Structure 1
Amino acid sequence: MGEPVTILAFGDSLTQGYGLPASDGFVPQLEAWLAERGAEVELINAGVSGDTTAGGVSRIDWALGDGIDGVIVALGGNDLLRGTPIDSVEENLDTILGRIDAKGLPALLVGYKATPNYGPDYKEGFDALFPKLAERHDVRLMPYIFRGMAQAVDAGEAERAALFQPDGIHPNARGVKLNVAEIGPYVLDLIEDVEARS
């Protein structure tokens, strides 16, 4: 039996598991979801609460240490909260994905969708960033980090508040579980990409 695939989960507080018991965070829940489906994978939690895409640029090189086989990039939410100029967010994510590519590693980019408070032009530009960057770098794209929760709310299965922590920003354990069920198949594809290169 071969060695487990090692995936770096590179993100912000949503990746880090802010406000949750360790076992309920994104990385442990995703690792369990993958294991239930027979994937031999180790996820490394490289989530830093409050991190922006600029912060990601500053730490991506040392995060990509020896033994990393693939990377999940889930940054942009804190840039959105700050109203960071779209050009800056694009440049930073472009740099991060470029450095991953320079290491010869496959990646999965996780998208965000802007809230309407910065206006329609900002929202349109921000939302378009992630598909554009995924195509530019030929990496997989999971379109929306909160897709599992959004689908549950749309289906009337739960009120939005029931899936978030009291801050209204970070998902609770149930919200994480719904999101993991959506991102999981993309990570299985990423694992296949890793195995195809080995």
Structure 2
Amino acid sequence: MRQWCLSIALAVGLSLGLSACGGSAPDPAPSETVAAPENVPVMGPERPILAFGDSLFAGYNVEQAEAYPAKLELALRAQGINAKVANAGVSGDTSAAAAQRFLFTLDNQPVPPQLVIVELGGNDLLRGLSPRETRANIASILKELNARKIPALLMGMRAPPNLGADFQRDFDAIYPALAKEYGAALVPFFLEAVYDKPDLLQDDKIHPTARGIEELVAATSADVAKALPEARGDSLAAPPK
């Protein structure tokens, strides 16, 4: 965790987190889907997936086609899964800001997602927000997904030691506890594949480069595929309100 801890410590100490993660978040825009190239053959019903998170999904300082949701879509299609991944990442979002826009985002998908990937908490760390608040905000998202019977995959984060042992303990416990409580699939630490590899991180030492994103996809695409429910033929149904 040394590189990750140093990155977060620097970001917190110099308030770089606010600028590196987008500063003040832009107004949420309707999520866009980056289509896979036509030369990637797939069969079966379309599998709509919503990637809901912050700058780690939005594609900070990389092309949209290089962002995690776009690269994930390609990886799943290469596995024969007819995935269509909507990028609902907003740079700078705290868990509270994300929770506020979640229903709007979910209700405005062209079709109901068959899986929602939730990636939040990094900006809460950078601002030193209470783990209790972070947990409550992410819980509200998972609770809504449970109510709609939409499976969720939770991307976990970890707190650096410089925030204190109690904070670190409470924050790190958020993700496994919520996954267990709401029956969500879990990736324990989303940045596991890149956090200690400087050549895969941008100059801010927080966000992955385009190649780093490819490593994240390689490390997590199997988790996404496993979290998808069995294919069903309702992908053209109207979105729930």
For the criterion TM > 0.5, the same-fold answer is yes
The equivalent position to 2:136 in structure 1, one of 91, 95, 111, is 91
What are the equivalent positions in structure 2 for 1:114-129 lying under 5 Å apart? 114-129=159-174
Offset at residue 23 of structure 1 (A):
1.9
The equivalent position to 2:125 in structure 1, one of 58, 68, 80, is 80
What are the equivalent positions in structure 2 for 1:1-198 lying under 5 Å apart? 2-65=44-107, 66-150=111-195, 153=196, 160-191=197-228, 193-195=229-231
The whole-number CA distance in structure 1 between the counterparts of 2:221 and 2:93 is 23
Aligned to 1:156: none
Aligned residue identity for 2:215: L
The whole-number CA distance in structure 2 between the counterparts of 1:26 and 1:106 is 19
Give the root-mean-square deviation of aligned CA atoms. 1.6
Q: Structure 2: which 5+ runs fail to align?
A: 1-42, 235-241
The whole-number CA distance in structure 2 between the counterparts of 1:133 and 1:70 is 17
Give aligned pairs, total.
Answer: 189
Contact 2:56–2:207 at 8 Å: present in 1 too?
yes
Deviates more, 1:112-121 or 1:134-143: 112-121
The whole-number CA distance in structure 2 between the counterparts of 1:197 and 1:11 is 27
Report which of the two has the higher share of helix: 1
The whole-number CA distance in structure 1 between the counterparts of 2:120 and 2:233 is 25
Could you give the per-residue CA deviations for residues 85-109 of structure 1, whole angstroms, max 9, x where no partner exists? 0110111111110011111100101
The whole-number CA distance in structure 1 between the counterparts of 2:94 and 2:113 is 22
SS at match of 2:169: helix
Q: Structure 1: which 5+ runs fail to align?
A: 154-159
Offset at residue 194 of structure 1 (A):
5.0
TM-score (norm 1): 0.90
Larger radius of gyration: 2
Aligned residue identity for 1:180: V
Contact 2:194–2:216 at 8 Å: present in 1 too?
yes
Offset at residue 67 of structure 1 (A):
2.5
Contact 1:148–1:178 at 8 Å: present in 2 too?
yes
TM-score (norm 2): 0.75
The whole-number CA distance in structure 1 between the counterparts of 2:168 and 2:152 is 25
The whole-number CA distance in structure 2 between the counterparts of 1:83 and 1:183 is 27
Contact 2:51–2:85 at 8 Å: present in 1 too?
yes
Runs of 4+ in 1 over 3 A off after TM superposition: none
Deviates more, 1:61-70 or 1:174-183: 61-70
The whole-number CA distance in structure 1 between the counterparts of 2:61 and 2:118 is 21
The whole-number CA distance in structure 2 between the counterparts of 1:184 and 1:70 is 13
Identity %: 39
The whole-number CA distance in structure 1 between the counterparts of 2:219 and 2:77 is 15
Could you give the per-residue CA deviations for residues 9-62 of structure 1, whole angstroms, max 9, x where no partner exists? 000000000100222111111111111111111000000000011011101111
The whole-number CA distance in structure 1 between the counterparts of 2:132 and 2:182 is 17
The whole-number CA distance in structure 1 between the counterparts of 2:96 and 2:209 is 26
